[in-house]
Structure 1
Amino acid sequence: MKLVNGYDLMKYAQTRNLVLPAFNTTNMEMTFAIAKGLNDAQLPGYIQISSNNLRLSDPETIVFLARKAAVKYDIPIGLHLDHGKSYADVKACVNAGFTSIMIDASHLLFEENIAAVKKAVQYCHFYDIPVEAELGAIGGKEDDMASESDCKTDPDMVLDFVERTGCDTLAVAVGNVHGLEAKPKIDISLLEKISKISPVPLVMHGGSGIPFDIIREAVKHNLIKINYGADLRRAFVTTFGQAYEKNNMETDIIDLSLSGVKNVAAVAENLVKTINDIPI
């Protein structure tokens, strides 16, 4: 199947009462593994990459790899820009063929955040591409970038922000954190309050490390998408690390890479099933 437009992917999930996982990739092996994991689970989701991780490749390369990964399967898969850090990155990814976009201006002042998101929305909507924005700041570490911020999303700002930006989904900060080094403390009551105010579906970043009972409670409050990065990266890196510990003369990159794909795919399959409360 070709990569699916973000609007169509969300509609597909909503009509089936599913929450979409968004799995972070960095390279070919991770990209192929994510697609395989979703297909093995027979559940839809996103391959996504952050602006920061595009340092290793470029939008055109990731689109090429994602298309090759998705075309073998029949399950709907979208390609999402995660934490787009600039308007230039947004344009480059849309032009390359990404099917969903996030512009992250949450580090800016409220009015500046609105202006940055609105500009991205105007460009993306011309090409029928949905836009995710972020209100509030998520702590932890994302793609080697540490953040000390712990500013939760203010419910009183949500409606104004969404209406003025025109964003299609909203990433919220409710005690979720990036990476595995910090401990998440999810405020379900805050998430519930935001969900009743927001006119668009919500997104939770930092899924890795959040207990699954909390995830299952969170998805009841208009979540459409949950991001996972660290769990998959750990599975890939561990494949090589364990091989090196066993034999520090190991040089078989091909077999280790294939094993890494298998291991990451298994993690992705388990995660998408678990967040949708489907037996593994």
Structure 2
Amino acid sequence: MPLVSGHEVIAECTFRHLVAGAFNTTNIETTMGIVRAIERVGVPTFIQCAPTNAVLSGFEYIHDMVSRRLASCDVPVALHLDHGKTLQAVEDALAARFTSIMIDASEHPYTENVETSARARVMCGPDIALEAELGSIGGKEDEVGPDHADSTDPAQVSEFVDAVGCDMLAVSVGNVHGYAPDARIDFELLGEIQAASPVPLVIHGGSGLPEEQFARLHEFGVVKVNVASDLRNAMIRTFGEAYIANPDEVSLIRVSKNAVSAIADVVERRIRMFNPSTG
């Protein structure tokens, strides 16, 4: 089916008590693997790309690649801008027909975060779902990370969401970008944020959290969990193992197909972790 708005993914997941995975893509192998897993499990999903991922191809190529592959997929999928740090990134993704947007001004002071995020809301209009971030999530993605991490303050949540008009709120509750083996969700804090938030919540850093924590997220108003590092590692590992096994390997298509399978397995495993009812 054609790409759907992030609103549709949010609504269906909320109605079915599901948590959508949000999986970053950069190339055709990653895209193919993500969609293969989506078709296996049938859970509405976000496929996403950050500006740092799009430097090689541009957002237009990402849109065309994802939308072509989804033409034969029956599961609702939105194409999401991940960590749009500037309004120019938002404009570029909208021009490339992304159907869901994240504005991340969380490293700026609260007032500036509100002002920038509210401007992104106007740019998106009513048809494009908007995710904003309150609190600063630690760790690094594509070697880029905040100077420091700040937990989300529940006392600011309702005012922030109302002022921005966002449809999803990314929160900092112990989650960390990239691989962080010591990362743990503070469920007490997450519960306080849920009680204060009029919109569903988003957890970034889904590659480093322990499996048992994923199964609880739907209880706390979480509708979206971001995963990037796991997928990239699966692809790099596949190519690295192929080279180690045979330094003279020249069948790029065989190794690429193996990478697609490895990525699909990772994505399917993550979706089922988020949604234990799927088996």
**What secondary structure, in the 3-state scheme, does the structure 2 residue paired with 1:278 have?**
helix
Alpha-carbon deviations, 1:115-151, whole Å to 9, x = none? 110000011025x101000011111111221445221
Give ranges in structure 1 of 5+ residues lacking alignment: none
* Cross-structure match for 1:233: 232
Contact (CA 8 Å) 1:191, 1:218: kept in 2 or not? Answer: no
Note the C-alpha offset of 1:279. Answer: 5.5
Secondary structure in structure 2 of the residue aligned to 1:134 = strand
Under a length normalisation based on structure 2, what TM-score does the superposition of the two structures give? 0.97
Give the match for residue 219 of structure 1: 218
Q: Is contact 2:107–2:146 with CA below 8 Å preserved after alignment? A: no
Percent identity over paired residues: 42
Match status 1:144 vs 2:143: yes
Deviation at 1:49, TM superposition (A): 0.6
Q: CA RMSD in A?
A: 1.2
| SS at 2:116 equivalent | helix
Q: Whole-Å Cα distance in 2 between the matches of residues 198 and 226 of structure 1?
A: 17
CA distance in 2, matches of 1:119, 1:76: 28
AA aligned opposite 2:11:
K
2:244 is the alignment partner of 1:245: yes
- Structure 2 segments unaligned to the other structure (5+ residues): none
Residue of structure 1 in register with 2:14 after alignment? 14
* Deviations, residues 154-210 of structure 1 (Å, cap 9, x unaligned): 111111111111111100000100111463121110000000001111000001121
Q: Is the 8 A contact 1:45 1:76 kept in 2?
A: yes
Runs of 4 or more above 3 Å deviation: none
Aligned residue number for residue 58 of structure 1: 58
State yes or no: 1:264 paired with 2:250: no
**1:117 aligned partner:** 117
SS at match of 2:107: coil
Distance 1:211 1:185 in 2: 7
Hey, what does 2:275 align to over in structure 1?
276
**2:97 alignment partner in structure 1:** 97
TM-score (norm. length: structure 1): 0.96
Per-residue CA distance 1:29-75 (angstroms, 9 max, x = gap): 11121111111112210110111111121111111001011111111
Read off the aligned partner of 2:129 and give its amino acid letter. P
Provide, for residues 244-269 of structure 1, a one-character-per-residue CA deviation record: whole Å limited to 9, x for no partner: 11112222211111111111011111
* Separation (CA, whole Å) in 2 of partners of 1:124 and 1:147: 25
Distance 1:192 1:156 in 2: 13
Give me the whole-angstrom Cα distance separating, in 1, the residues matched to 2:219 and 2:276. Answer: 12
In structure 2, C-alpha distance between the alignment counterparts of 1:146 and 1:158, rounded to whole Å: 23
Question: Aligned residues, how many?
Answer: 279
